[in-house]
């Protein structure tokens, strides 16, 4: 998740609201987490593609 936070705008990095939003996206299963050897890899859930598009269009 560290690398994902680096992709956020600088004014949101390290903010509590950004961390909460990422956790909520994982809870909604929009983001998938895969624990690798030393870090967590994050990807979009292809099964939720339609839901993600609807969410972003609102």
Query: What band does 52 get if pLDDT is binned at 50, 70 and 90?
Result: very high
Judge whether 55 and 30 are in contact, CB under 8 Å: yes
pLDDT score, position 2: 72
Instruction: Kindly list the domain boundaries of the chain, sorted by start residue.
Output: 2-57
Buried-state track 15-44, b at ≥16 Cβ within 10 A, e below 16 = eeebeeebeebeeeebbeeeeeeeeeebee
Can you read off the two tokens belonging to residue 14? 């390290």
Check pLDDT > 80 for residue 51: yes
**Mean pLDDT of all residues in 16-39:** 90
DSSP state of 15: -
* E strand intervals along the chain: 31-35, 40-44
């Amino acid at each position: 998740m560290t690398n994902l936070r680096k992709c956020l705008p600088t004014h949101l990095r390290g903010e509590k609201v950004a961390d909460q939003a990422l956790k909520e996206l994982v809870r909604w299963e929009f983001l998938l987490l895969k624990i690798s050897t030393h870090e967590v890899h994050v990807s979009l859930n292809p099964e939720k593609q339609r839901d993600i598009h609807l969410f972003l269009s609102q």
